[in-house]
Amino acid sequence: AQSVTQPDIHITVSEGASLELRCNYSYGATPYLFWYVQSPGQGLQLLLKYFSGDTLVQGIKGFEAEFKRSQSSFNLRKPSVHWSDAAEYFCAVGAPEADKIIFGKGTRLHILP
Amino acid sequence: DTGVSQDPRHKITKRGQNVTFRCDPISEHNRLYWYRQTLGQGPEFLTYFQNEAQLEKSRLLSDRFSAERPKGSFSTLEIQRTEQGDSAMYLCASSPGQGVGETQYFGPGTRLLVL
């Protein structure tokens, strides 16, 4: 069965600084991988997803993620964060033969002015 | 496209009462999912529908929970004899096609508090 781990519960960065949120997954083959963002009072919004091909995936809002098979990781990055990026970020994994995705516990991002 | 909507947004109930939540998916999305999210956790899968057919239920979905999607459009999630442990955010999502690769579009959720 697939699983996903987000090692950092909270991350704090200064506005304008770079960001990397970690995600590790467990699955025997290459799964589908997703990053979602949840802002207060908002539904989850898909930032990006990876199925195959280029291991560097571009998403919305200036985010990107890199799939590394050797490390079973799919870390999310942004070169320069904005105060509006403060939110909770969820990594998710889905097995191709399954019909559901499994979410990590999330990383809450705090932005310092 | 008005997005996925959920009603009510908040519900406070007393232990032992029944509650029902409604989800209206994006028009023509044939997949509809229900999730539960508790504090400090990611969404946990509860069940999903392909049109009106309920195809999978999580073991999290006890006998007190029932979900329907009678005409393949909106869906309801009912919790009977609520318990304090049912307090959570209940999320609905829809997707246009089959398979885990399809993007799921989430509603704002219904926050349930059981006193």
Task: Tell me the per-residue pLDDT of B55-107, one tens digit each, with 9 for 90 and over.
Answer: 988 888 889 999 999 988 999 999 999 999 999 999 999 999 888 888 999 99
pLDDT of residue A29: 78
H helix or E strand, kind and range, residue A91: strand A87-94
| A54 contact partners, CB below 8 Å, separation of at least 6 | none
Distance from CA of B34 to the nearest CA of A (A): 11
Assign B36 a pLDDT band (cuts: 50, 70, 90). very high
Cβ of B61 under 8 Å from any chain A Cβ?
A: no
Predicted pLDDT of residue B1: 55
Q: Give the pLDDT confidence score for residue B67 in this predicted structure.
A: 96
What value, to the nearest 5°, has the Cα angle with vertex B7 and ends B4 and B9?
Answer: 100
Say which residue, A73 or A27, is predicted with more confidence: A73
Tell me if B42 and A99 make a contact (CB, 8 A cut-off): no
| Distance between CA atoms of residues A81 and A14, nearest Å | 8
Where does residue B13 fall: left (phi above 0), alpha (psi -120 to 50 degrees), or beta otherwise? beta
The residue of B41, B100, B110, B111 whose CB has the most chain A CBs within 10 angstroms, and thus the best one to mutate to test that interface, is B100
Predicted confidence at residue A4, as pLDDT, reads: 95
Residue of B nearest to A8 (CA): B40
**Mean pLDDT score of chain A, rounded to an integer?**
93
Indicate the average pLDDT of chain B.
93
Residue A96 pLDDT > 80: no
Q: Is the predicted pLDDT of residue A33 greater than 70, yes or no?
A: yes
Whether residue A1 is predicted with pLDDT greater than 80 in this model: the reply is no
Residue A95 confidence (pLDDT): 82
Average pLDDT over residues A100-105: 92
Q: Which residues contact A60 (CB under 8 A, 6 or more apart)?
A: A45, A46, A47, A48
Nearest C-alpha neighbor of A103 from the set A55, A42, A31, A13: A31
- Is pLDDT above 90 for A17? yes
Look at B98 and A99 and tell me if their CB atoms are within 8 Å: yes
pLDDT at residue A11 in the model: 97
Residue A98: strand, helix, or coil: coil
Given a cut of 90, is residue A9 above it in pLDDT?
yes
